Structure 1
Amino acid sequence: MSGEGAPKLEVDAAGLKVAIIASQWHQTVMDGLLDGARRGLADAGVTDVTELRVPGVFELTVAAARLATAGFDAIVTLGVVIRGGTPHFDYVCEAATTGLTLVSERTGIPVGFGVLTCDNDEQAIARSGLPGSSEDKGHEAATAAVATAVTLSAWSR
């Protein structure tokens, strides 16, 4: 199981301003990821949350880059890419991973990476946080983003 060994993060992130950026592809999986991210932020005490929807995973990067300069303390990105019969999967996954890493690195704003890169629908459902899922990647991404923001808050931007 890919979630084995994951840390149990408990964080007080009250007062943080957080954005969730979610793609629109694979609505059922996205519903689970979004619900998980919302729960993760609520569990951490975050009440100032802005949600933005973009068409797909490729568009997460430009949205995160824009919001990283808009006063948010952390950004949570959510999406899912299912492998198909063409190299499109590889290009989209690489672009999202590299782009979101660069946004975080260049701005100093933590970006929670809740992008599922799966071989099939079953894997995506298993990680979506829906009832019966074995993992809750939306919750994990949100918690990781705010935990990092809290950790870094001792150092000014």
Structure 2
Amino acid sequence: MSGEGAPKLELSDCEGLRVAVIASQWHERIMGGLLDGAQRALKEYGVEDSVVLRVPGSFELPVVAKALAERGYDAVVALGVVIRGGTPHFDYVCEAATMGLVQVSANTGVPVGFGLLTCDDEQQGLDRAGLEGSREDKGFEATTAALATAALLRGLSAPVGGSAG
């Protein structure tokens, strides 16, 4: 199981963070679970300023993530699912979405929670969607990671001990 070894994140200082969640529209049942997990994490960690936007598919996640990062959100959570088919389309979409999200985060300095499921079949998505009977809750996990990173970055903006002379 892929969730083994995951860290237990201790979050604090999430109040006041502005968070955007972007979710693809493909695979409605899986996406519903991912979105529910993301919204549970936002609530659990006291985030009140959040928005949820839907995009057609996973390929569109990076361009919307970039726009939101540039509009002052402290963190962006990208949720999607791509299920392998019989053509190379799966590989192209997964690579493009992944690399695009990495570029958004690196270029803007805004953390992007990576909630893009890349699955061989629908059951793998259901197992990770945070639904009743799922083994993992990737929507919750991706949101928690984005919040933890945003809180860490916010803490870095404060001067570190002493003066420079």
What range is the shorter-chain TM-score in?
Answer: over 0.9
CA distance in 1, matches of 2:43, 2:131: 17
| 1:150 and 2:151 correspond | yes
Paired position in structure 1 for 2:115 = 114
Could you say what secondary structure the match of 1:153 adopts? helix
Paired position in structure 1 for 2:23 = 22
The alpha carbon displacement at 1:154 in A equals 2.4
The alpha carbon displacement at 1:45 in A equals 1.0
- 1:56 alignment partner AA: G
Q: Indicate conservation of the 8 Å contact 1:21/1:51, yes or no.
A: yes
Residue by residue over 1:77-131, the C-alpha shift from the partner in whole angstroms, topping out at 9 and shown as x without a partner, is: 0000000000000000000110000000000000000000000000000000001
TM alignment of 1:30-69, pairs within 5 A: 30-69=31-70
Answer with 1 or 2: which has the greater Rg.
2
Paired position in structure 2 for 1:9 = 9
CA distance in 1, matches of 2:26, 2:52: 16
The alpha carbon displacement at 1:44 in A equals 1.2
| Runs of 5+ consecutive residues of structure 2 not aligned to the other structure | 158-165
Q: Indicate conservation of the 8 Å contact 1:18/1:72, yes or no.
A: yes
Paired position in structure 2 for 1:130 = 131
Q: Indicate conservation of the 8 Å contact 1:10/1:44, yes or no.
A: no
Q: Indicate conservation of the 8 Å contact 1:79/1:114, yes or no.
A: yes
User: Number of residue pairs matched?
Assistant: 156
RMSD (Å) for aligned C-alpha atoms? 0.7
Q: More displaced, 140-149 or 43-52?
A: 43-52
| Runs of 5+ consecutive residues of structure 1 not aligned to the other structure | none
- 2:124 alignment partner AA: Q
Could you say what secondary structure the match of 2:79 adopts? strand
- 1:130 alignment partner AA: L
- 2:127 alignment partner AA: A
The alpha carbon displacement at 1:42 in A equals 1.1
Runs of 4+ in 1 over 3 A off after TM superposition: none
- 1:131 alignment partner AA: E
Could you say what secondary structure the match of 2:37 adopts? helix
Q: More displaced, 43-52 or 77-86?
A: 43-52
Could you say what secondary structure the match of 1:68 adopts? helix
The alpha carbon displacement at 1:155 in A equals 2.9
| 1:91 and 2:92 correspond | yes
Q: Report the TM-score, using the length of structure 1 for normalisation.
A: 0.98
The alpha carbon displacement at 1:43 in A equals 1.2
CA distance in 1, matches of 2:155, 2:47: 18
